[in-house]
Amino acid sequence: MLSYQHTYHAGNHADILKHIILGDVVHAMQKKETPMFLFDAFASRGMYDLNAPEAQKNREFDTGIGKLWPLKDQTNPAGVTRWFRLIKRENLDNTFNRFPGSTALMASMLRESDRLAACDLHPQEFEGLRHSIDSSRKLALHKRDAFEALGALLPPKEKRGVVFIDPSYEDKSEYKKVAQTIAATYPHFRAGVYVIWYPLLPAERHLELFSELKRSGIRSILRIELDCGDSFPDMQMHGSGMLIVNPPWHAKQAMQTSLDWINENLTGGKGTTHFGWLVPE
């Protein structure tokens, strides 16, 4: 959807879950020395100004980074510490006004042997991405449709990697389209780790995503979810989740620990978490 701009939502509770868990996955994949390819299919801006009018309009970041920032200097799980460290590097004034998105996160984790590609079709979002992230031999920015790019850029020459998929889902057909695109792509890149974010909304359309993936025949799909309940009554989105195809086993304990920490510190432990197989191995 070319109307969607993530700055309105940057730093909210869903961003917290997606970025910390994504960091856990990438870190676990890097335990092997062999090169890998990282692909951010719906990159958006890469870096967000939380002082911008769009971010200030509903102040969704108060449900996420705004609530967690006081905890930045205490002893935290490794994945949380990694995430806080990135935000600190972008804000030398001890604020969180420059909030890194998924592309900035993955770019910060690149090793010399790794590559990253990031896509966005929205003109303003891509322009923001181009200004906040420097393209290089290791980092390519593409102004192109994410679903088309999934077919064009995979499989990568590295033969292993992480594919991150988090559309806005403003187009309701995207729940099925994500699953169908992965089903079409997977046979060509079976070694890939596919990380799919989804929102929890009253209409429960994420169940369409679940159903399509179950019918695809793909095995080993882990479901990680946080339902914040009534912790943030002003937001229609009451939680979010991640589906991970081929989750690296090194990451499982870290992701469970991160999920528990996020729930405890965002909802006071009142949220409902899920950590288990959508489709078993």
Q: Which residue is listed with tokens 């940057």?
A: 10
Strand boundaries in the chain, DSSP class E: 37-40, 47-49, 98-100, 115-119, 139-142, 161-165, 192-200, 221-227, 239-245, 272-279
How far apart, in whole angstroms, are the C-alpha atoms of residue 53 and residue 59?
10
Q: Is the dihedral of CA 52, 117, 276, 167 positive or negative?
A: positive
Among 257, 256, 248, 250, CA closest to 276: 256
Beta bridge partners of 165: 196
Residues 144/168, Cβ–Cβ less than 8 Å: no
Residues classed as catalytic: 166
Q: What is the largest CA-CA distance in the chain?
A: 50
CA distances from 101 to 12, 45, 96, 160 (A): 11, 7, 12, 23
Please state the separation of Cα 133 from the chain's center in Å.
Answer: 17
CA distances from 74 to 77, 80, 264 (A): 10, 11, 15
Among 96, 94, 3, 106, CA closest to 46: 106
Among 187, 183, 182, 188, CA closest to 155: 188
Among 275, 246, 249, CA closest to 260: 275
